[in-house]
Structures are given as structure tokens and as C-alpha cells.
Amino acid sequence: MTIVLLFFKPNPSAPAPIYLQLMNQVKHAVEVGALKSGDQLPGIRNLAESLVVNPNTVAKAYRELEHEGVIDLRHGAGAFVKSRSAAGGKVLAAMPLVTGLVDRLKSRGLSEDEVRRLFEAALIQQEETARRR
Amino acid sequence: MNQFAIQTHALTKSYGRAEAVRSLNLEVPDGSICGFLGKNGAGKSTTIKMLLGICWPTSGAGTVLGASIRDARASLEARRRIGFVSEDKRLYHYMSVGQMICFTRSFYPRWRDALEQQLLRQFQLPLERKTGQLSKGMRTKLALLLALCRGADLLILDEPTEGLDPVAVEEVLQLLARAAADGATIFFSSHQIAEVEQIADRVAIIDDGRMLLQESLDDLKERYRRIQLLFDREAPWKPLDVRGIAAARAEGPAVSLLASGNIDEIVAAARSLDPVSLEVAQVNLKEIFLECVRRN
């Protein structure tokens, strides 16, 4: 079964390249369990036409997803979700932690936007610390 | 097989003393969809006309599907494998839509009948109407139908979506995606940045006849960053002497940098100015385009 509806139209004017947006959509679907091991992704041509994006871009997203171990590309047969990766499980398991923290921050009167910026700032800070080492 | 469907070297076209295209080195890899961006009058149409043999270069060289654009005979052969839509979408105005299709079909053994039928239905083209009486949008759709149905290896399209409504634009882009999936290389000019971002995997930016930039769109987006600095005082702005700063502007307590790479070094140099906040953000094609053209 291949479901094109799993994908929403990428935003071409967003700064993130379209192939990354597509990759994130697949990863998200795998993480939340909407896509399961063995599920088939839409064909490159089919997906490119329905999202009206470049087929090369879809192919690139699939190649990278295979590289990251999320899907299997079987020549001539198509793209299939691999058994749910350990990474996916870890992410789901961490969800309650984050939900709890977000709740606490909100109860202190922080807006969603402020919470989002805090998370991003924390990530950037860690990135830079790591870089300096 | 050639690595590039289109390749030019120092291609130049002058009209009298005015140089419309200046020493252009253009490369369109096989199998890519390349968007050719530029303001009105930047030299897009002149470049396309030279590629198609409609006008002759003043100097420089180029190949299209391996044939030199200066070799009239070879170039004619290559043109049989090229579909094109010209800027004015000029058609034989005295022919009806049906006659125009029959006439064109007769030149091309690889004509795709099924696609023709499908596009006629999708575009709702009136077969009986004279092409001279078609609306601009209809004329564009007919020109595209003629280009796509000949099963071309290369499509060269001069502003294919100009004058079309948003529904028709999406239809045209979808057709381009399909043609690319069939293996065609596509080179199309546009000043609609959004549609180039949507469908192209490569972009070439021309301004005042010069090529400012040509690169994979993904690489471009991964390379460029906007860096914003905020100070708790008037920005102590002095030009940073670091490679990769494409543009810099300061206003009050804020400084905005556009970097075309070398982000780590630029961030380190900016940090030495002791800002209270430093943010690095990704940018889209529109920002890059505007900055390139402004600088030129």
C-alpha cells in the first residue's frame, strides 16, 4: 500500500531544501507509527507529480533516507520502510519528558513562541560548545 | 553521452554598442530542471534565442545536446530533439488549434498521441479556434502541448508560466515534473522565484547580461545563512574582513549579514564584537536572488 496523502506539499520558499522537508515527513510518519516496517512509499514519479516537485528531489530524499537507515530501496520494486529504527523508538519514549517540561514552562506564563525560541537557543548553544571543543 | 545538455563558453551578444549577454558560461547538466532567473531585460530571452539558433552569437561558443550552436547543420539536427516555447509563444495565427497540432505532429516520428489527447482534455483547448484568437494562457498551453508531445530530450522554455492563472501554473509545473521523470532535461526562464524554487533542482541567475551564480538549489540553501547581531548599544560596526560575507547592513543596535559560506569563521569574528544576541538563520532563494542582483 502506498499512500501519497502521508505527504503534504513541501513549502518551496522555506529555507530548508525540499528534499529535507520530505525526509522529515517520512521520519515523522515512522516515529509516530503511521508508517510501519515493510510499508511501501509512493514511487518517485507518482510522488513528484502529486506534490508537483522535481523527481530528482524525491529521488534524493529517498536516497538520503536509505543512507540513514530509515528505508530500503529495492531496485525496480520501490521504497520500503525498514523495521522501525531504534532512533524512532527513542524519540517516542522521550516525548513525555518534553511534554512535561513544556507544560511547566507554560504554567510559568511563557507563550508557545517563547518556549520554541528557548529550545532553539539551547540547541544552538550546545552546538557551539561542541564546536569549540 | 554528454554530461551537459547545454553548455556555453563566453557566449556574448551585442546589439550595436549594447551588450545584451556578456561572456556567459552556462552549464545545464543532463536530466536536471534548471531555472533561469533574472529581471526583465537581464538577457534571458537573448540567451535562449542563441541556444535555439534564432539569433547568432557575437562571440563565444556553445553546445546544445552536443551540437555546436555555430554549426547550422548540426544544430538543426539537435533542434529536432528539443521542444521549446518562445517568449511571445508565436504560432501560425491563421491555423486552427487542430491544424497546428496536425502540422507539428507531421515533423516528429516520436509524437506522443496519448499525451496529446490527455493534454487536449486537461487544457480544454478549442480545436476549431484560430490560434490568433486564443487568449494568452491558451496560447501558452498550446505551445507547451506542441513541445511536450514531440517527446523531446530537452525542453527550453522562455517564461512558460507567464500570464497564466495559478491553477494553470500548477498544471504546467506538474507537466514539467512529469517530463523530467521521463528523462527530459528542462531549462526554463522565469522571474517567478517561487516556481523556480518549487520545481528546479538547479538555478542560474543572470543580471545585466552576466551570470551571477549557477548552482544546485539544495547546495545554495545549505551554503547561505543570514546572521543577525543585536547589541545593547549602537552597533559597533566595522567591516569584518572574513571570506564569505556577501552583504552587510547595520542600523541602530542591529547588524544583518548575509553569508555565502564559511559560516563558522564569520560567527567567530562576529562574536568578537561582543553582541548581546547572535542568531544564524537559513535563507530562501528570494533573499539570495535579491542580494545578488542588488550587489551587481
A contact test, residue of B122, B197, B272 with most A CBs within 10 A: B197
Q: Is residue B228 less than 8 Å (CB to CB) from chain A?
A: no
pLDDT score, position A1 = 47
Please name the member of A13, A44, A57 whose beta carbon is closest to the beta carbon of B201.
Answer: A57
Q: Which residue of A has its CA nearest to B30?
A: A56
The minimum CA-CA distance between A16 and chain B, rounded to whole Å, is 7
Q: Is residue B178 less than 8 Å (CB to CB) from chain A?
A: yes
Please name the member of A54, A60, A131 whose beta carbon is closest to the beta carbon of B33.
Answer: A54
Q: Is residue B45 less than 8 Å (CB to CB) from chain A?
A: no
Contact A54 B200 (CB under 8 A): yes
Question: How far is residue A127's CA from residue B248's CA, in Å, rounded to a whole number?
Answer: 25
Confidence of residue A85 (pLDDT cuts 50, 70, 90): low
Residue B138 scores a pLDDT above 50? yes
Contact A13 B217 (CB under 8 A): no
The minimum CA-CA distance between B282 and chain A, rounded to whole Å, is 5
Confidence of residue B89 (pLDDT cuts 50, 70, 90): low
The minimum CA-CA distance between B76 and chain A, rounded to whole Å, is 29
Average pLDDT over residues B244-270: 89
CA angle A117, A118, A121 (to 5 degrees): 80
Q: Is residue B290 less than 8 Å (CB to CB) from chain A?
A: no
For the record, the C-alpha cell of A123 comes out as 540547541
Contact at 8 Å (CB) between B283 and B253?
Answer: no
Contact at 8 Å (CB) between A20 and A65?
Answer: no
Contact list, B264 vs chain A (CB under 8 Å): 131
Question: How far is residue B103's CA from residue A105's CA, in Å, rounded to a whole number?
Answer: 71
Give the CA dihedral A103, A105, A110, A114, nearest 10 degrees: -100
B contact test, residue of A9, A54, A128 with most B CBs within 10 A: A54
Q: What is the ipTM of this complex?
A: 0.73
pLDDT score, position A124 = 79
Task: Quick: pLDDT tens for A112-133.
Answer: 888 888 888 888 778 777 766 6
Question: How far is residue A106's CA from residue A102's CA, in Å, rounded to a whole number?
Answer: 6
Task: Quick: pLDDT tens for B140-193.
Answer: 888 888 888 988 899 999 998 887 888 888 988 998 998 999 899 999 999 889
Contact list, B286 vs chain A (CB under 8 Å): 13
Average pLDDT over residues B187-212: 93
- The topology (CATH level 3) of B4-208 is Rossmann fold (3.40.50)
Residue B48 scores a pLDDT above 70? yes
pLDDT score, position B136 = 76
User: Mean pLDDT, chain B, as a whole number?
Assistant: 89
Contact list, B217 vs chain A (CB under 8 Å): 17
Contact list, A126 vs chain B (CB under 8 Å): none
Q: Is residue B177 less than 8 Å (CB to CB) from chain A?
A: yes
Question: How far is residue B6's CA from residue B18's CA, in Å, rounded to a whole number?
Answer: 25
Q: Which residue of B has its CA nearest to A54?
A: B199
Q: Is residue B266 less than 8 Å (CB to CB) from chain A?
A: no
Confidence of residue A47 (pLDDT cuts 50, 70, 90): very high
CATH class of residue range B220-295: alpha beta
pLDDT score, position A89 = 66
Q: Is residue B230 less than 8 Å (CB to CB) from chain A?
A: no
Q: Is residue B222 less than 8 Å (CB to CB) from chain A?
A: yes
pLDDT score, position B1 = 47
Angle at which helix B97-105 crosses helix B136-149, to 10 degrees, equals: 20
Contact at 8 Å (CB) between B60 and B26?
Answer: no
3-class SS of residue B186? strand
Lowest mean pLDDT among A5-14, A49-58, A109-118, B109-118: A5-14
Burial class (CB in 10 A: 0-12, 13-18, 19+), A78: middle
Contact at 8 Å (CB) between B46 and B21?
Answer: yes
pLDDT score, position A107 = 92
Per-domain boundaries in chain B = 4-208, 220-295
For the record, the C-alpha cell of B85 comes out as 516555447
Cα maximum dimension of chain B: 73
Confidence of residue B248 (pLDDT cuts 50, 70, 90): confident
User: Mean pLDDT, chain A, as a whole number?
Assistant: 85
Contact at 8 Å (CB) between B73 and B67?
Answer: no
